[in-house]
Structure 1
């Protein structure tokens, strides 16, 4: 079965083009990291390749390598910024695999021992909260 073609109007493509706002944490030539607007824990960040790809099944090797390298940077910064005990990394592929937005993205979520991952409620977090979390991660990135 062939997956549908990449949709240039998905929300992440619009963010990458500057058509929609985001709380950017990190950017390099190949990736950006932004706060998830519906976080499942404080500091929940998304790492996105700048080049179009629907998901892991069609991404170019150099793009997935860049995404993983950025996810590692973000995870290390989250450990510092949130005094986390660990990090959960999720990546979903196609609707049956749980993917909702069809532009490759990796969830990087700081975790605290004994605190369960919050549910995906579909409700957006307070913008000021996200701004504060993004700033904490950016400051931690400066120390790495």
Structure 2
């Protein structure tokens, strides 16, 4: 029998707003360290990236570097984690 959390995940459509969409819309409070007006051009998951998303993906990685510098993380290094879908947190690590 599936847990309540697993059952919820099964009924939530994949195009439903993510926690990040809710943060962007200010529906969930967060300490924002960087914000810009770059449109994601329909990109909702890395696994759904297309040729047209190359610019935004490059911009995101460069922005990560800028934020890491701003937060004082460049000297000792930092870890970047990208989840792609509900099972990505503990399964299928690349």
Greater strand share, structure number: 1
Following superposition of structure 1 onto structure 2, how do residues 16-95 of structure 1 map, counting pairs within 5 Å? 16-30=24-38, 51=40, 52-59=42-49, 60-78=53-71, 80=72, 84-95=75-86
1:15 equivalent in structure 2: 23
Alpha-carbon RMSD across the aligned residues, in angstroms, is 2.6
- Flag structure 2 segments of 5+ consecutive residues without an equivalent: 1-12
Give the number of equivalent residue pairs: 74
Greater helix share, structure number: 2
Aligned pair in 2 of structure 1 residues 84, 21: CA closer, same or farther (>3 Å)?
A: same
If asked which structure has higher relative contact order (CA below 8 Å, sep 6+), I would say 1
Larger radius of gyration: 2
- TM-score when scaled to structure 2? 0.59
Contact 1:15–1:22 under 8 Å retained in 2: yes
- Flag structure 1 segments of 5+ consecutive residues without an equivalent: 31-49, 100-144
Runs of 4 or more, structure 1, over 6 Å off, are: none
- TM-score when scaled to structure 1? 0.42
